[in-house]
Chain A
Amino acid sequence: MSKNLSGLDTFPKLLLHHARVRGGLPAMREKDLGIWQTWTWRQFADEARALACGLASAGFKRGDHLAIVGDNRPRLYAAMCAAQCLGGIPVPMYQDAVAAEMAFPIQNAEIAFAVAEDQEQVDKLLEILPQCAALKRIFYDDARGMRHYAQPQLTAYDKLLAAGREALQRAPAFLETEIAKGSGADTAAMFFTSGTTGNPKGVVLTHHALIDRATAAAEMEGLSDRDVVFAYMPPAWIGQNIFSYAQPFVTGYCICCPESAETVMTDMREIGPTYYFATPRVLEALLTQVSIRMEDAGALKRSMYKYFMALAQRVGGAILDGKRAGFADRLLYMLGDLCVYGPLRNALGMSRVRVAYTAGEAIGPDLFRFYRSIGINLKQLYGSTETSVFVCIQPNGQVRADTVGPAVKGVELKFTSQRELLIRSPGLFKEYYKNPQATIAAKDAEGWFHTGDAGYVDQDGHLRIIDRVKDVGKLADATLFAPKYLENKLKFFPFVNEAVMFGDGRDRVCAFVNIDAEAVGNWAEKKNLSYSGYTDLASRDEVYALVRECIEKVNADLALEPELASSQVHRFLILHKLLDADDGELTRTRKVRRGAIAEKYRELVAALYDGRDSVHIEAQVKYEDGRSGMLSADLKLRDAKTFSAAQVKKAA
C-alpha cells in the first residue's frame, strides 16, 4: 500500500505519482506473440500522456466522453487514462455486445470519440454510424484487416500516439495544466448497467468515489505493489474495472492481460496472480473441468483425490481460517497439500493467490467450500456498479458461505421496514446519466442508495442478502418470509431438485419439493429400493424420510437465525412430477413461478395447511410433442420437525 496519496485525487495524478516513485516496476503485462511483454509504470504514464495530447489535438475536450470498446489491453487502459488526463470521461463498452446494443450508450452520452480494439469492433461502430451522428472519430489499435477501410472517421492508434508525442514535445506544459485542473469531484468514468428492463443506465462515478473504495478495500487486504492481478473479464464491467484500473492506480500492483479468450487458463497458470476475482459461474466451470479430468485419471490418483478431498471438506476450511483442528488431521492435511491440494491449485493457476473474491450472484456453499478447503482464500463481497463495488467484504478468518461479510470501512447500512438494504458510502455514484427520475428513485435526499435487495445484518455483524425486495413477504405474525432464500437453502442438497415455499400471509411455512431423479435414483439403487418411475419413486415413504431429513437440517439451521426462525418448514409434500417450463411452472431460465404454481395446485396448498395426510390430484401434463394427457396420483403430506435455537445448540 503506497502511503501519502493525499492530494492525489484523480487517476492521472496517481499515475504520475507511480511513474515517479515506482517507475521501473511493472504496471501491466500482456502476452503478445507468445511472450509476456511488460509496461513499467513509467512507460504506461508516457503512453497515456502522449495519447492524451493526441486526443487533445484531435479536438477532445474536458467533459467529452470517450467510448472504449475492446478486451483487456494495455493500450485501451492507457486510452482510459488519457481521456481522464484531459478531464474527459471514458465509457468502457462490452466487447461482445452486438452493434445494436452499442448504439444506445453512444447516442445517450453523445459520444464523438471512440477507441476500438480491432476490426471486429470497428465494424460494429461503423454499422451504427448512421444512427450516431455525433460519433466523428474512431481510433483502432490492431491494424489487421484495416488496410482497405477508407472511412474518414478512422485513424490508427499508432498515428494518434505519434501525433500526441509531437504535440507533447511542442507544448510540454499543456498536459501538466490539464491534469492539475482535475479534481476528485470530477466524473472519472461511466459504466452502463445491463438493465434487464428498458434501456441501460449510465452510472456516473467520480474519481473520489472510485479511489476511496479502491483504497478502503486495498487497505483491508494489505495489497501492495508486489501483487499481481489477472484481467480476464470484460473491462466494461465494474467488477473487472475496479480490479484492473482503480485498485492498481491506488496500490501500484501489476495487471496481466491474457493473449486471447481461449488462452486464459494457460496464461493464468503462467502468471500466477496473487489477487483474484471470479464470478461463481467461472469457479463452477473450473471445478467441472477438474472433476472431468479426475474422472479420466488412473485408479490410484482417483482414490487419492477422493480420500484427500473428503479430508479437506472436513478440516480444510478450519485450517485456512486458523481455527482448531486435530493434530492428526493437520498432519494428514499437510500430506494432502503435498499430493493433491498443491498440484490442484497449481493446475488452476492459483498457487500464489492470497486473496480471491467471488461476487455477482449467490454462490452454492459446496462450490464455495471446495475452493476454501484446498487452501484458496476465496471470500465473498457485496457491491454493485452504483457503489463502486466494495460495500461488504468478508475479513480473513470470518468467512462463511451464507453471508457477504461486514460493511467495509466508510460504509453505512440501513434497512427499510420492507427490509430493503440502503447504503450510504463515499463510493456511491453521482447519478444516472441524463436520467434524473431513475436517480431520484435510487438515491434519496439524504444520500441513501436503495439497492432493491432484501437482507439483514446477523448477530456477528455480517450482511446476509436474502432475496430481491419484491419477492419478500411476511408470515401472519409479521415476521420475514423470504421464499427464494429458503428454497435455495433446501436446493443445496443434491437430493432436492426444486422447492417451492408457501407462507406469505400464513401462519407457517410449507413446501412443495421436487426430488432429483438421478441423485435419489442412485440412492435408491444402493438401498435396493425398486421403483417403476419418477412418480413411484417420489411417493415412497423412504424418499419422504430422506427429504424430511434434508428439511429438518434446514430447519435446524434456520432456528439459529433469529430473523428466520419462524420460517422453518412445518409440512411438505413431494410433487408427483417435475416442475416444467412447458407446463408454465418455471420460467425459461428455470426460475420457479411461485404464483402460477400456487394457482395451479390450489388443492395441494390447501391440503398442506388443513392437516390432511393425503390428497388426490389429477393434473394435466403437456408432452414435448404438444399433446397433453392426464396424470393422477395420491400424494402424501408429511410433517417435518421444527426446532428452537436452544434445542439445536444442545444437540451440537
Chain B
Amino acid sequence: MSAAARTFGEVILSVEGVSLSFGGVKALQGVSFDVREHEVRAIIGPNGAGKSSMLNVINGVYHPQQGTIRLRGREFHDMDSHEAAEMGIARTFQNIALFKGMSVLDNIMTGRNLKMHCNFLQQALWLGPAKREEAAHRRAVEEVIDFMEIQHIRKTPVGKLAYGLQKRVELARALAAEPTLLLLDEPMAGMNLEEKQDMCRFVLDVNDHFGTTIVLIEHDMGVVMDISDRVVVLDYGKKIGDGTPDEIRANQAVIDAYLGVAH
C-alpha cells in the first residue's frame, strides 16, 4: 500500500517546545512535533541526537524543563510512566528489558498487569473472580502469542532464546497491554536481514490489524523509509526536519547532519 493512500485520524499526541537538559547537557531544545492516530511515526538522527530522550519524555520517564506534552488534548507536565501506561502508552526498550528467568508466556502476562483488577487477597487465595480474570487475561495473551507467531516458545525461559526472538517477545509484551500508542526504541537493532524483515512485517501488521499508532526510533534508514508514514529528524537535540520519507530524503539539513559538512 502506498503511503499516499493511507488516511490518518486526528492528532493524538503533540509535543510542543520541549527542552530537556541534564546539568549542562542540552538533550532536547525546543522540539515540537505531532503524531496522528494510526500512523507510523519515526524519530531518526545521529548518535546522541536525543531520540531516546524524546521517547522517555513521551513515556513519562523524564520530565522536560520546558514545553508541554498533549495527549488526546490533555496536557501533561509531570506525568510518570505509570500514568503513561494507563493512558494507553506501551513501549519496548533499546536493550531488551525482559525477565530472563521467566517463560515467554509469563513475560507477556506481565504486560496485562494494569488490566488486572482482583486484589492481592483474591489472587493469593485463587478465588473465583481471580480465576476467571486469569483465564480472560491468558486468552488475551494467547491471542498476542498467535499474532506474533511465537507458539513454539511459549513455555521457554526468555534467557534461552535468540536475540531476535527476545525482541519479538518484548514487542508481544507491549502489545499485551493493548496500547493505543506504541513506542519502539530501535526494534531492529542488532538483527540480521531476515529478522529485520520479520520485525518490519510485525510492526506493519500491528499498525494495520489493531490500528495502533506507532512511534519508533530506528537507525536502519532502509527500514525507516519503508515503513514510516512521517519522519522527525533530530540533531544535537534540535529538530532539523519533519515530513514524509520522500521529503526527508530531499532535505539538505538532514543530508548534512548525516554525512557531515565542511565548515
Contact = CB atoms under 8 A, between A and B. Distances in A.
A34 B145 contact: yes
Interface residues of B, number: 17
B209 A34 contact: no
Nearest to B139: A33
Interface in B95-120: 105
Interface in B118-161: 138-139, 142-143, 145-147, 149, 151-152, 154-155
B221 interface: no
Nearest to B152: A262
Interface in A128-174: 144-145, 147-148
B1 A33 contact: no
A262 B153 CA distance: 9
Interface string A258-271: 01101100100000
Given A33-B146, A34-B145, A147-B208, A260 B139 contact: no
Given A33-B142, A34-B142, A148 B152 contact: no
Given A144-B209, A147-B208, A148-B1, A263 B145 contact: no
B205 interface: yes
Interface in B1-46: 1
Give 8 nearest A-B pairs by CB, closest first. A262-B152, A33-B142, A34-B142, A263-B152, A259-B151, A263-B151, A260-B151, A33-B146
Contacts of A262: 151-152
Contacts, number: 30
A266 B156 CA distance: 12
Given A35-B142, A263-B151, 6 more contacts: A34-B145, A34-B154, A145-B209, A260-B149, A260-B152, A266-B155
Interface residues of A, number: 12
A30 to B, nearest CB: 13
Contact of B143 (A33, A148, A260): A33
Interface of A, secondary structure class, is loop
A33 B150 CA distance: 11
Chain B CB within 10 Å, residue with most, of A34, A144, A262, A263: A34
B122 to A, nearest CB: 23
Contacts of B151: 34, 259-260, 262-263
Contacts of B105: 34
A197 B122 CA distance: 67
Contacts of A144: 147, 209
Interface in A216-268: 259-260, 262-263, 266
19 contacts: A33-B142, A33-B143, A33-B145, A33-B146, A34-B105, A34-B142, A34-B145, A35-B142, A144-B209, A145-B205, A145-B209, A147-B208, A147-B209, A148-B1, A260-B149, A262-B152, A263-B152, A266-B152, A266-B155
Nearest to B1: A148
Contacts of B146: 33
Contacts of A260: 149, 151-152
Interface in B140-196: 142-143, 145-147, 149, 151-152, 154-155
